[in-house]
Amino acid sequence: MLNITDLENRHKKYKIKTYIPKLIAFLSIIILSILFITVFKPKEKKIIQPQVVQLQVIKKENIQNLKALIPKKNINTQQLVLYPSFKFLQDLKFDDLKKEKTKQTAKFQKDILQNKKIIDINKNMQIALEKKNEIKIKRQNTNKDIEHVLKRFENNNNPALSLFVAKKYYELGFYDKSYNYALITNNINSEIDDSWIIFTKSLVKLNQKNKALKILKAYIKQSHSSEAKILLNDILSGKFNES
């Protein structure tokens, strides 16, 4: 037969075991509720009572006493003068500076001389070019003048015109032509002093110095021309020659 008492005890133990989880859950809920209320309970605000500050009236005598306690600053009216420091000069090597300065000065002077030479060369070239152009223009103008005068000379055989042509040709260095027109002038009028001078000079330039001296002496003997005498002395002394 079954033991009823044993079964009942076992049933009670089973019932107790089934109630234990429920009891634990219930107690947990209660504990959590208490904690929640405790943590999230609103704090009471403290009301700060305003304090009444009593202002103390400072008397005039106290102000004077306070002023007397304040230390006075000594104001220096003299202006502070700053002097430059020349200590850095002690570290400089004056010999090296002098050498460097001398070297730079020599280089500068050399550059100046070189530039001056270049400028002088360019200047001389410019002057030579200008003279060349001037001579060219002068010859062109002179040739036109000569052509114009020759046309007039063909019409009237004026010795002044032929003398003008002789002088112009002599200035241009055409000594054979200056000789011819000086001779033409002498044939028209043998008393014109300038035509004999041009005639003699042209002969000297044409390397006929002896012939020029012979003709010039004969003219001086006849005319006693002072200009002819001066030219004779220049030829004899070599001051005027064929070069």
Q: What is the CATH number of the domain that holds 160?
A: 1.25.40.10
Contact 195, 186 (CB under 8 A): yes
pLDDT at 113: 73
**Average pLDDT estimate for 21-50:** 73
Residue 107 lies in a domain: no
208 burial (CB, 10 Å; 0-12 / 13-18 / 19+) is middle
Position 197 in a domain? yes
Tell the residue number behind the tokens 């079964």, with chain if given. Answer: 7
Please state, in angstroms and rounded to a whole number, the distance separating the CA atoms of residues 12 and 21.
Answer: 15
Based on the structure, what is the number of domains in the chain? 1
Is residue 158 very low, low, confident or very high in pLDDT (cuts 50, 70, 90)? very high
pLDDT at residue 65 tops 90? no
Full residue range of the structural domain in which residue 171 is found = 127-237
Band of the pLDDT at 132, cuts 50, 70, 90? low
Q: Which of 231, 157, 209 is nearest to 165 (CA)?
A: 157
The predicted-structure confidence for 165-204, as pLDDT tens digits, reads as follows: 999 999 999 999 999 999 999 999 999 999 999 999 999 9
In a domain, 45, yes or no: no
Q: Is residue 42 part of a domain?
A: no
Whether the CB-CB separation of 188 and 180 falls below 8 Å is answered with no
> Which of 180, 171, 191 minimizes the C-alpha distance to 153?
180
Consecutive H or E run containing 138: helix 94-156
Place of tokens 């009444």: 52
In a domain, 168, yes or no: yes
Q: Is the residue at 38 inside a domain?
A: no
Q: Check whether 7 has a pLDDT greater than 60.
A: yes
Task: Taking the CA atoms of 144, 148, 154 and 158 in sequence, report the sign of the dihedral they define.
Answer: negative
**Pair 188, 157: CB distance under 8 Å:** yes
pLDDT, residue 182, reads 95
Cα(219)–Cα(155) distance, integer angstroms:
29
Of the two residues 240 and 92, the one the predictor is more confident about is 240
Instruction: Give 135's pLDDT tier (boundaries 50, 70, 90).
Output: very low
User: Is 223 among the domain residues?
Assistant: yes
Residue 46, token pair as written in the block? 């403290």
In a domain, 5, yes or no: no
> What are the angstrom distances between the C-alpha of 82 and each of 79, 85, 88, 91, 192?
10, 9, 17, 22, 94
SS3 content of the chain, % helix, strand, coil (to 5): 75, 0, 25
